[in-house]
Amino acid sequence: MVATILPPLSLYIHVPWCVRKCPYCDFNSHAVPAGEAIPEQAYLDALIGDLESTLPAVWGRTVRSVFFGGGTPGLLSGPGVARLLAEIRARITLEPGCEITLETNPGALEEGRYAAFRDAGVNRLSIGVQSFDDASLRRLGRVHDGGQAERAIESALRSFDNVNLDLMIGLPGQAEAAARQDVVRALGFGTTHLSVYQLTIEANTVFAKFPPPLPEEDVVARAQEEIDGLLAQAGFEHYEVSAYARPGRRCRHNLNYWMFGDYLGIGAGAHAKVTSPGGGVLREERFRAPESYLRNAVQGQFVSQRRMVAADDLVFEFALNAFRLRDGFAPSLLAERTGLGPEKFEPGLREGVRRGLIARHPERIAPTGLGMRFLNDLQALFLPAGDGGASEVAADS
């Protein structure tokens, strides 16, 4: 092991409830029963206790970004978000200009809260649009239509100057022209960031049990190429596999993930990664089900799983994240973020260069265009010996 340099630190807050569980979603989200409200005050109390339990591991460190993910964090009230952010600031230092993102979905209930979220201290909003086409939204099981999506964006822009829109391509029955039109409509609002994901069928979802007819791979590939061109012409930088930003508006929270930074994770099912000053990386997972999380929180218990990451696994985890960045990373980051010597990465790097998946220069290691198209193959080069295939990580947006 080489000397460990502590990486930047972020804070992720998971809100596990949503209005309706989408058939493609494999996140830890749970539909709120009709006519019921989320147990906001009890959950906020639990989150504060959860944060306090993590503080000894990060004494003296500063948080560079905060992200409310879900689920649908927009179901929280403005005063609830204000209370939580005040309690966070009382316990840990947020760096000046700290990026604070909250995910939300189109719908009148949340739109009315945008100004309250801004006043609470949120400075970046991420809206789960997915599509503006009503038929596509119905097939995705979304609770909003295209008109509601447009009104939500307009409302958000009255309160925020930093707004991300989530879009999906490769939807059931979606033609190339329809995917392009969604992006054209999104560009018309002048937001600062777009996340464009291809729909994938994940295990343990309704779509896995009842697969919908999806477009052919070459149709999706052509749509992706056209979208890349449209966004480049509009001045967006394609900085990560699924992320596009105007200059200076890249998502700092997600960049910390991809650069293998540290993050605290609080809330039901949240994950955390913390580097020890003495070396080694600790990963934690919170109790997943909201009822279990709240029940254990009363007893001061939050963590359901805890493990130190083995050296061979660190190699793969670093590659799994850092190679998502189109610009790649400085070679020095390999040791800085893992505490491992460069020889641990050498076999995968050599093979990646040989296959044309990795471009290697003295000042930069990056995926090639081919490597970006076959990212799973690239990442799998860094798997521990005997491991069969690459897993995937989900991003916030």
Task: Determine contact, residues 10/63, Cβ cutoff 8 Å.
Answer: yes
- Give yes or no: residues 109 and 214 share one domain: yes
Last residue of a domain, one of 257, 290, 307: 257
- Is residue 241 a part of any domain in this protein? yes
Q: How many domains does the chain have?
A: 2
Q: On the CB side of 199, how many CA atoms lie within 13 Å of its CA? A: 31
Position 108 scores a pLDDT of 58
Last residue of a domain, one of 237, 257, 277: 257
- Is residue 70 a part of any domain in this protein? yes
- Is residue 139 a part of any domain in this protein? yes
Retrieve residue 165's tokens. Answer: 């829109």
Which residue do the tokens 């590939």 mark?
221
Pairing of strands 17-18, 30-31: parallel
Position 391 scores a pLDDT of 39
Residues 6+ apart with CB under 8 A from 364: 327, 328, 329, 330, 331
Position 277 scores a pLDDT of 87
The 10s digit of each residue's pLDDT in 272-294 is 999 998 889 999 999 999 999 99
Task: Determine contact, residues 66/98, Cβ cutoff 8 Å.
Answer: yes
In this prediction, residues 262-277 reach a mean pLDDT of 96
- Give yes or no: residues 203 and 83 share one domain: yes
- Is residue 272 a part of any domain in this protein? no
- Is residue 288 a part of any domain in this protein? no
In this predicted structure, the answer to whether residue 26 has a pLDDT above a threshold of 70 is yes
The 10s digit of each residue's pLDDT in 300-336 is 999 999 999 999 999 999 999 999 999 999 999 999 9
- Give yes or no: residues 237 and 92 share one domain: yes
- Is residue 134 a part of any domain in this protein? yes
State how far the alpha carbon of 391 is from the alpha carbons of 12, 50, 93, 209, in Å. 21, 28, 34, 20
How far is 317 from 383, CA to CA, in rounded Å? 9
Residue 391: give its domain's CATH number: 1.10.10.10
- Is residue 200 a part of any domain in this protein? yes
Residues 6+ apart with CB under 8 A from 88: 11, 51, 63, 66, 94
How far is 383 from 294, CA to CA, in rounded Å? 36
Pairing of strands 271-275, 303-308: unpaired
Residue 163: give its domain's CATH number: 3.80.30.20
Domain containing 63 equals 9-257
- Is residue 186 a part of any domain in this protein? yes
Range 190-223 burial, b when 16+ CB lie within 10 A, else e: ebbbbbbbbbeeeeebebeeeeeebbeeebbeeb
Position 390 scores a pLDDT of 38
Position 357 scores a pLDDT of 98
- Give yes or no: residues 94 and 171 share one domain: yes
In this predicted structure, the answer to whether residue 392 has a pLDDT above a threshold of 70 is no
